[in-house]
Amino acid sequence: MDIIDELKKQIDKCRPLTQGETERFNEEFLVEFTHNSNAIEGNTLTLKETALVLQGVTIGQKPLKDHMEAIGHRDAFYYVLDIVQKKELFTESTIKKIHSLVLMDKPADRGIYRKVSVKIGGSLFTPPQPYMIGKMIEDLMFDAQQWQRTKHITEQVALFHLRFESIHPFIDGNGRTGRLLMNLMLMRQGYPPINIKFSNRQKYYNCFEDYHKTTNPKALVKLVTKLLENEMKNYLKRFESL
Protein backbone atom coordinates (compact mmCIF):
# COMPACT_ATOMS: atom_id res chain seq x y z
CA MET A 1 0.00 0.00 0.00
CA ASP A 2 2.96 2.31 0.58
CA ILE A 3 3.99 1.63 -3.01
CA ILE A 4 0.49 2.56 -4.21
CA ASP A 5 0.65 5.82 -2.27
CA GLU A 6 4.05 6.71 -3.73
CA LEU A 7 2.93 5.90 -7.27
CA LYS A 8 -0.13 8.08 -6.75
CA LYS A 9 2.12 11.03 -5.89
CA GLN A 10 4.12 10.48 -9.08
CA ILE A 11 0.98 10.30 -11.21
CA ASP A 12 -0.39 13.47 -9.65
CA LYS A 13 2.78 15.30 -10.70
CA CYS A 14 2.09 14.39 -14.33
CA ARG A 15 -1.37 15.92 -14.27
CA PRO A 16 -3.36 17.53 -15.71
CA LEU A 17 -3.57 15.76 -19.07
CA THR A 18 -5.04 17.33 -22.18
CA GLN A 19 -8.42 16.14 -23.38
CA GLY A 20 -6.77 14.25 -26.22
CA GLU A 21 -4.33 12.48 -23.91
CA THR A 22 -7.12 11.51 -21.53
CA GLU A 23 -9.23 10.14 -24.38
CA ARG A 24 -6.31 8.11 -25.67
CA PHE A 25 -5.71 6.51 -22.27
CA ASN A 26 -9.39 5.68 -21.84
CA GLU A 27 -9.93 4.28 -25.34
CA GLU A 28 -6.92 1.98 -25.08
CA PHE A 29 -8.05 0.71 -21.70
CA LEU A 30 -11.67 0.29 -22.78
CA VAL A 31 -11.08 -2.44 -25.35
CA GLU A 32 -9.16 -4.75 -23.03
CA PHE A 33 -11.41 -4.03 -20.07
CA THR A 34 -14.56 -4.74 -22.09
CA HIS A 35 -13.12 -7.92 -23.57
CA ASN A 36 -11.92 -9.34 -20.26
CA SER A 37 -14.90 -8.35 -18.12
CA ASN A 38 -17.33 -9.83 -20.64
CA ALA A 39 -15.20 -12.93 -21.21
CA ILE A 40 -15.30 -13.71 -17.49
CA GLU A 41 -19.08 -13.92 -17.88
CA GLY A 42 -18.95 -16.19 -20.97
CA ASN A 43 -18.79 -13.73 -23.87
CA THR A 44 -17.05 -15.40 -26.84
CA LEU A 45 -15.66 -12.34 -28.63
CA THR A 46 -11.88 -12.25 -28.89
CA LEU A 47 -9.94 -9.12 -28.03
CA LYS A 48 -9.67 -8.20 -31.72
CA GLU A 49 -13.34 -8.92 -32.31
CA THR A 50 -14.28 -6.80 -29.32
CA ALA A 51 -12.29 -3.90 -30.75
CA LEU A 52 -14.07 -4.27 -34.09
CA VAL A 53 -17.51 -4.45 -32.50
CA LEU A 54 -16.80 -1.27 -30.54
CA GLN A 55 -16.00 0.35 -33.90
CA GLY A 56 -19.37 -0.71 -35.29
CA VAL A 57 -18.34 -3.89 -37.14
CA THR A 58 -20.55 -6.99 -36.99
CA ILE A 59 -18.71 -10.27 -36.46
CA GLY A 60 -20.18 -13.13 -38.47
CA GLN A 61 -21.15 -16.33 -36.64
CA LYS A 62 -20.97 -14.61 -33.26
CA PRO A 63 -24.20 -14.19 -31.25
CA LEU A 64 -26.02 -10.87 -31.24
CA LYS A 65 -25.94 -11.10 -27.45
CA ASP A 66 -22.12 -10.93 -27.47
CA HIS A 67 -22.21 -7.82 -29.66
CA MET A 68 -24.76 -6.12 -27.41
CA GLU A 69 -22.76 -6.97 -24.29
CA ALA A 70 -19.68 -5.28 -25.76
CA ILE A 71 -21.62 -2.17 -26.74
CA GLY A 72 -23.45 -2.03 -23.43
CA HIS A 73 -20.22 -2.34 -21.47
CA ARG A 74 -18.65 0.43 -23.56
CA ASP A 75 -21.59 2.75 -22.91
CA ALA A 76 -21.48 1.95 -19.18
CA PHE A 77 -17.75 2.70 -19.05
CA TYR A 78 -18.25 6.06 -20.75
CA TYR A 79 -21.03 6.81 -18.28
CA VAL A 80 -18.59 6.08 -15.44
CA LEU A 81 -16.04 8.43 -17.03
CA ASP A 82 -18.70 11.12 -17.25
CA ILE A 83 -19.52 10.76 -13.55
CA VAL A 84 -15.84 11.08 -12.67
CA GLN A 85 -15.30 14.10 -14.91
CA LYS A 86 -18.35 15.92 -13.58
CA LYS A 87 -17.58 14.85 -9.98
CA GLU A 88 -21.10 13.62 -9.50
CA LEU A 89 -22.19 11.74 -6.39
CA PHE A 90 -21.96 7.95 -6.29
CA THR A 91 -25.45 6.81 -5.28
CA GLU A 92 -27.75 3.81 -5.52
CA SER A 93 -29.18 5.39 -8.67
CA THR A 94 -25.67 5.30 -10.15
CA ILE A 95 -25.53 1.55 -9.64
CA LYS A 96 -28.89 1.06 -11.35
CA LYS A 97 -27.94 3.31 -14.26
CA ILE A 98 -24.67 1.46 -14.85
CA HIS A 99 -26.52 -1.85 -14.75
CA SER A 100 -29.17 -0.60 -17.18
CA LEU A 101 -26.41 0.16 -19.70
CA VAL A 102 -24.57 -3.11 -19.12
CA LEU A 103 -27.69 -5.22 -19.61
CA MET A 104 -28.86 -3.65 -22.83
CA ASP A 105 -29.69 -7.10 -24.28
CA LYS A 106 -32.32 -7.73 -21.57
CA PRO A 107 -34.60 -4.65 -21.43
CA ALA A 108 -37.03 -6.05 -18.86
CA ASP A 109 -34.28 -6.59 -16.26
CA ARG A 110 -32.26 -3.40 -16.72
CA GLY A 111 -31.65 -1.42 -13.52
CA ILE A 112 -34.14 -3.49 -11.54
CA TYR A 113 -33.32 -5.53 -8.45
CA ARG A 114 -34.14 -9.20 -8.84
CA LYS A 115 -37.45 -10.47 -7.52
CA VAL A 116 -36.47 -14.12 -7.21
CA SER A 117 -33.92 -16.02 -5.16
CA VAL A 118 -30.76 -17.17 -6.97
CA LYS A 119 -27.78 -19.46 -6.57
CA ILE A 120 -24.25 -18.73 -7.77
CA GLY A 121 -22.95 -21.56 -9.89
CA GLY A 122 -19.95 -23.37 -8.44
CA SER A 123 -20.29 -21.70 -5.04
CA LEU A 124 -21.76 -22.89 -1.76
CA PHE A 125 -22.71 -19.30 -0.94
CA THR A 126 -26.35 -18.31 -1.37
CA PRO A 127 -27.16 -14.61 -1.98
CA PRO A 128 -29.80 -12.96 0.21
CA GLN A 129 -33.51 -13.10 -0.50
CA PRO A 130 -34.94 -10.37 -2.76
CA TYR A 131 -36.69 -8.47 0.05
CA MET A 132 -33.31 -7.87 1.71
CA ILE A 133 -31.55 -6.34 -1.30
CA GLY A 134 -32.66 -2.72 -0.99
CA LYS A 135 -31.61 -2.39 2.65
CA MET A 136 -28.32 -4.20 2.08
CA ILE A 137 -27.39 -1.91 -0.82
CA GLU A 138 -28.34 1.11 1.30
CA ASP A 139 -26.10 -0.15 4.12
CA LEU A 140 -23.27 -0.83 1.66
CA MET A 141 -23.43 2.69 0.26
CA PHE A 142 -23.36 4.15 3.77
CA ASP A 143 -20.39 2.00 4.77
CA ALA A 144 -18.53 2.92 1.59
CA GLN A 145 -18.70 6.58 2.56
CA GLN A 146 -17.26 5.81 5.98
CA TRP A 147 -14.45 3.71 4.51
CA GLN A 148 -13.10 6.73 2.66
CA ARG A 149 -12.02 8.08 6.05
CA THR A 150 -10.78 4.83 7.56
CA LYS A 151 -9.51 2.46 4.85
CA HIS A 152 -6.93 2.47 2.08
CA ILE A 153 -8.34 2.74 -1.43
CA THR A 154 -7.51 -0.89 -2.21
CA GLU A 155 -9.41 -2.05 0.88
CA GLN A 156 -12.37 0.16 0.00
CA VAL A 157 -12.62 -1.21 -3.52
CA ALA A 158 -12.12 -4.86 -2.57
CA LEU A 159 -14.58 -4.83 0.33
CA PHE A 160 -17.23 -2.99 -1.69
CA HIS A 161 -16.89 -5.47 -4.55
CA LEU A 162 -17.08 -8.51 -2.29
CA ARG A 163 -20.20 -7.26 -0.57
CA PHE A 164 -21.86 -6.08 -3.77
CA GLU A 165 -21.34 -9.39 -5.52
CA SER A 166 -22.46 -11.26 -2.40
CA ILE A 167 -25.72 -9.30 -2.41
CA HIS A 168 -26.04 -10.16 -6.13
CA PRO A 169 -28.76 -7.53 -6.51
CA PHE A 170 -29.63 -8.12 -10.17
CA ILE A 171 -30.81 -11.20 -12.01
CA ASP A 172 -27.89 -10.85 -14.44
CA GLY A 173 -24.97 -8.51 -15.08
CA ASN A 174 -23.76 -8.31 -11.47
CA GLY A 175 -20.13 -9.11 -12.27
CA ARG A 176 -19.77 -6.62 -15.10
CA THR A 177 -21.58 -3.95 -13.10
CA GLY A 178 -19.47 -4.67 -10.03
CA ARG A 179 -16.19 -4.36 -11.90
CA LEU A 180 -17.32 -1.05 -13.38
CA LEU A 181 -18.16 0.14 -9.87
CA MET A 182 -14.68 -0.82 -8.70
CA ASN A 183 -13.21 1.42 -11.37
CA LEU A 184 -15.64 4.20 -10.60
CA MET A 185 -14.42 4.17 -7.00
CA LEU A 186 -10.78 4.18 -8.09
CA MET A 187 -11.11 6.96 -10.65
CA ARG A 188 -13.20 9.17 -8.36
CA GLN A 189 -10.22 9.20 -5.99
CA GLY A 190 -7.66 9.87 -8.72
CA TYR A 191 -6.44 6.34 -9.47
CA PRO A 192 -6.37 4.64 -12.87
CA PRO A 193 -8.89 1.85 -13.53
CA ILE A 194 -7.87 -1.79 -13.22
CA ASN A 195 -8.57 -4.73 -15.50
CA ILE A 196 -9.19 -8.19 -14.05
CA LYS A 197 -8.19 -10.40 -16.94
CA PHE A 198 -10.00 -13.51 -18.10
CA SER A 199 -6.78 -15.46 -17.53
CA ASN A 200 -6.96 -14.51 -13.82
CA ARG A 201 -10.60 -15.48 -13.40
CA GLN A 202 -9.91 -18.50 -11.15
CA LYS A 203 -7.77 -16.43 -8.80
CA TYR A 204 -10.55 -13.83 -8.85
CA TYR A 205 -13.23 -16.44 -8.07
CA ASN A 206 -11.10 -17.82 -5.25
CA CYS A 207 -11.18 -14.40 -3.56
CA PHE A 208 -14.94 -14.70 -3.17
CA GLU A 209 -14.74 -18.23 -1.83
CA ASP A 210 -12.15 -17.09 0.70
CA TYR A 211 -14.32 -14.16 1.75
CA HIS A 212 -17.43 -16.29 2.15
CA LYS A 213 -15.50 -18.71 4.36
CA THR A 214 -13.64 -16.19 6.50
CA THR A 215 -15.41 -12.79 6.04
CA ASN A 216 -11.89 -11.44 5.55
CA PRO A 217 -11.35 -9.47 2.30
CA LYS A 218 -7.56 -9.91 2.33
CA ALA A 219 -7.39 -12.13 -0.78
CA LEU A 220 -9.14 -9.61 -3.00
CA VAL A 221 -7.33 -6.71 -1.34
CA LYS A 222 -4.07 -8.39 -2.34
CA LEU A 223 -5.26 -8.94 -5.92
CA VAL A 224 -6.59 -5.38 -6.30
CA THR A 225 -3.38 -3.96 -4.83
CA LYS A 226 -1.22 -5.90 -7.29
CA LEU A 227 -3.39 -5.00 -10.27
CA LEU A 228 -3.46 -1.34 -9.29
CA GLU A 229 0.31 -1.23 -8.73
CA ASN A 230 0.91 -2.70 -12.20
CA GLU A 231 -1.60 -0.37 -13.82
CA MET A 232 -0.07 2.68 -12.15
CA LYS A 233 3.43 1.68 -13.24
CA ASN A 234 2.23 1.16 -16.81
CA TYR A 235 0.36 4.46 -16.61
CA LEU A 236 3.57 6.28 -15.69
CA LYS A 237 5.56 4.54 -18.44
CA ARG A 238 3.06 5.64 -21.05
CA PHE A 239 3.70 9.30 -20.26
CA GLU A 240 7.02 8.83 -21.99
CA SER A 241 5.25 8.12 -25.30
CA LEU A 242 2.85 11.08 -25.19
Residues identified as active-site: 168
CB 68 within 8 A of CB 172: no
* CB neighbours of residue 10 within 10 Å: 13
Element (H, E) at 75: helix 64-86
Distance in angstroms (rounded) separating the CA atoms of residues 53 and 43:
13
Distance in angstroms (rounded) separating the CA atoms of residues 183 and 161:
10
- DSSP annotation of 1 reads -
CA 179-183-188 angle, 5° bins: 150
